[in-house]
Amino acid sequence: MSADEAYVVTNLTQPSLVSSGLHGQAVIATSLKRRASPAFEGMQEEASRKRLKEDQESEDLSVMDNSTSFTSNLADTMAEDLQCGCCSELVYRPVLVLPCQHFFCGSCCSLWIRNGGANCPACRGVSNALVTPFRGLQAVVDTLLRFAPHKARTDRERQQADEIYKPGQSLRFPAPREASPEPPFNQSTEYAYPCPHCAPGNPFGYRCPQPIPDPNTDADHAWPLDNGLPPGHGHCGNCETFVALLAPTTTKCDMCRVSFCGIGVQGRCLAAPILAQHPHGMADLSDLIQSSEVYDCFDRNNVEVEIMFDYLQAQQILPRQIYREVVQHLQSQPYGFAPLFEQELFTEIHNVASVGPDPGPDAPRSRICRLCATEVLLYGLRDWWIRERQKGFLDESVTSRQDCPDGGMCRRQSDLAHAKEFNHIIALTEPQAEIASEPIAVQNPPLPLVPESMASMEPATVAYAAPPTILPTVPESYEPRTDHNITSAMSIPPGSTGLAFLLDLPTDTRSASTSDFHNAARPFS
C-alpha cells in the first residue's frame, strides 16, 4: 500500500476530498467505514424529543419569569403612585381634597387639620369644600394588595390610623387665618409707631380712641418714647409691639400683668384661660429632659428625675397634662396661687413692663401667658410627682427603697450612690410643712420687775440655793444719778433665777446710776 492509501485509511472519520488521480483509492477508503448499530437509530429520535421538551419547558419558565417580573414591576410602580403625600407610604383609607384633587391617608389629613393646617398639605391650596373619602382610589388599592399583599401597611400602623380617623368620616379645613402685620423694619427708635388698631379702616374691627401718630407722615405730633407709653397702649409680651389695651383681641395675663395683642403670632401672643394654656417650651417629654430647671426642682437628684422620666414615658404623660393637674391642685387649696406670688415667680419674666396696679396675691386669676404657665408647672412638679407615686404604678425596686432620714432636705442628693440607695421623694406632714415654710421667730420672754419690797430686804432674810456671781463693770467716767427709779428701768429676776450680768452702761442721762445698780444688785450678792 502506498503512502497515500495509508493516509486515507487512518483518517476514516474525516471526509476527504480526493483528487481525480486518487479516485480508486477514495472508494476503498469509504468502504472501510463502520456503519452505526441499528440500536442507536431509536435513541436518536428519543434524544431529539427530549431536547424539544426541554426547550419547551425553558420557554415556559422564561415566560413565567417575565410575567412575574412584570407583575412585580407593576406593583412597585402602582405602590409608588399611590403613596400618601404626608407619610410617603401606601395610602390607607384615602381621602380627597378639592379642588386640587390631592389624596392622603384619612389619619394623616386628620392630624394635619388638628395641628392647625388650613390648606392642602401638598400644594398649600385653599380648600373650601369637605374632605371626603376617596372610594374609587380605595378599590385600586384593594386590587393592588390582592396581587402584592406584602405592600400592605403593618397591623400596628393600621390600628393607630383607625384610632385617629374613622372610615367614611368627612373632614373640613378651617378658615384661613388673618395675615400677620409686616415687621417694623428700619423704624426710628426715638418715636412710637401706630399699633395695628390705630389705622382707620383696619381689618380688626376696632380703632384706638387715641391713635398713635405715624412719625413718617405726622412728625410734628409724633410721640417720643422718652415720654413713656402712649395713652391707651402697652407692649405685647410676645412680639413686643404696641398693643391697644382696650381692643377686643387684647388679653392680659393675671399673673405677670402683661398684655398680649392676639395678632402677631397665633397661639403665642395670647393670655389664654389657665387650664387651656400651653407651657412655653414644654411640648413633650424631650423638652423636660433638656430643661435644667427640672433637675433644680429635685435638688439635682438625677436618680429621682430619671425615675420620673421613665414613668412619664411608660404612662405617655405630656407636660401639659402635668400642668393641668398642678393648676387644679393649686386651685383646690385655700391659699391658691398666693405662695407663687410670695416667691415672686412672675416678676420680670418678660422683656416688657407690666401694665396696671398689682391687685394683690389673693385676687382671682382667670388668664395666664405661656411663660407664667411654665413657672406654675416647675413650681408644682415635685409635689405632683409625690402625689403621682402614691397611685402605685411604680416598680417595687423603686418603692422598696428606704427613706432618707433627712428626706427632701438632704444635702447629699447629688451623690449618685446615696441617691440610688435612699428615697428622697417624701411627702411632708402638715406640721412639718408649716415648719418648713414659715420661719420661727425666737423671742426671749420679758424678765419680771423686782418688787419694791424686795429691794429693801436685807441679804440675811432671803436664802438662795445657788447665789449667782454679779460682775458689775462700770467705767469711772460714769456719774451717779439719784433721781431715777431703778425698779422701773431694769428687769431683774428674783430668787435663784438671777443671772450673772456684765453691763456696759453708756454715759447717758437716761441710764441708771452706779449707786442705783449696786443697791438693786445687793440682794443677789
The string of DSSP letters for 98-145 reads TTTTEEEEHHHHHHHHHTT--B-TTT--B--SEEEE-HHHHHHHHHHH
Buried b (16+ CB within 10 A) or exposed e, 389-401: beeeebeeeeeeb
Decide if 252 is inside a domain: no
The CA-atom distances, in angstroms, between 102 and each of 133, 310, 337 are 12, 41, 50
Residues 237, 256 contacting (CB under 8 angstroms):
yes
The pLDDT assigned to 323 comes to 96
Residue 126's CB: how many other CB atoms inside 10 A? Answer: 13
Closest CA to 293 of 368, 386, 379, 197: 379
Closest CA to 434 of 297, 332, 339, 310: 339
Decide if 260 is inside a domain: no
Q: Are residues 509 and 453 in the same domain?
A: yes
Decide if 195 is inside a domain: no
Residues 51, 44 contacting (CB under 8 angstroms):
no
End-to-end CA distance of the chain: 173
Q: Are residues 509 and 407 in the same domain?
A: no
C-alpha cell at 322: 402635668
**Low pLDDT (below 50) residues in the chain:** 1, 6-10, 12-30, 429-478, 480-511
The pLDDT assigned to 372 comes to 95
Q: Are residues 459 and 394 in the same domain?
A: no
**Residue-number span of the structural domain to which 102 is assigned:** 94-172
CATH number of the domain that 160 lies in? 3.30.40
Decide if 406 is inside a domain: yes
Q: Are residues 383 and 291 in the same domain?
A: yes
Q: Are residues 414 and 377 in the same domain?
A: yes
Determine the 3-state secondary structure of 305 from DSSP.
Answer: helix
Residue type for 30, please? Answer: T
**Could you tell me the pTM of the whole model?**
0.51
Q: Which of 126, 146, 172 is the last residue of a domain?
A: 172
Q: Which of 103, 138, 172 is the last residue of a domain?
A: 172
Q: What is the DSSP letter of 191?
A: B
Decide if 133 is inside a domain: yes
Number of helical H runs and strand E runs in the chain:
17, 12
Q: How many residues are there in the chain?
A: 525
Q: Are residues 399 and 480 in the same domain?
A: no
The pLDDT assigned to 257 comes to 92
Q: Are residues 282 and 367 in the same domain?
A: yes
Q: Which residues are bridge partners to 102 per DSSP?
A: 97
Contacts of 255 (CB under 8 A, 6+ apart): 337, 340, 346, 365, 368, 369, 372, 375, 376
Q: Strand pairing of 171-172 and 251-252? A: unpaired
Decide if 229 is inside a domain: no
Q: Are residues 117 and 167 in the same domain?
A: yes
Closest CA to 383 of 436, 325, 315, 336: 325
Judged on CB neighbours under 10 Å (0-12, 13-18, 19+), 122 is: middle
Cα atoms in the 13 Å half-sphere on the side-chain side of 188: 15
Residue 350's CB: how many other CB atoms inside 10 A? Answer: 21
Q: How far is CA 228 from the centre of its chain?
A: 37
* 92 vs 105: CA distance, rounded Å: 5
Residue 486's CB: how many other CB atoms inside 10 A? Answer: 20
The pLDDT assigned to 452 comes to 47
Q: Which of 172, 195, 226 is the last residue of a domain?
A: 172
Q: Are residues 420 and 302 in the same domain?
A: yes
Q: Are residues 3 and 101 in the same domain?
A: no
C-alpha cell at 450: 423686782
Decide if 14 is inside a domain: yes
> For residue 251, which phi and psi values (nearest 5 degrees)?
-125, 160
Decide if 297 is inside a domain: yes
Q: Are residues 26 and 122 in the same domain?
A: no
The pLDDT assigned to 483 comes to 47
Q: How far is CA 225 from the centre of its chain?
A: 38
Q: What is the DSSP letter of 408?
A: G
Q: Strand pairing of 272-273 and 367-368? A: antiparallel
Q: Are residues 282 and 396 in the same domain?
A: yes
Domain count of the fold of the chain: 4
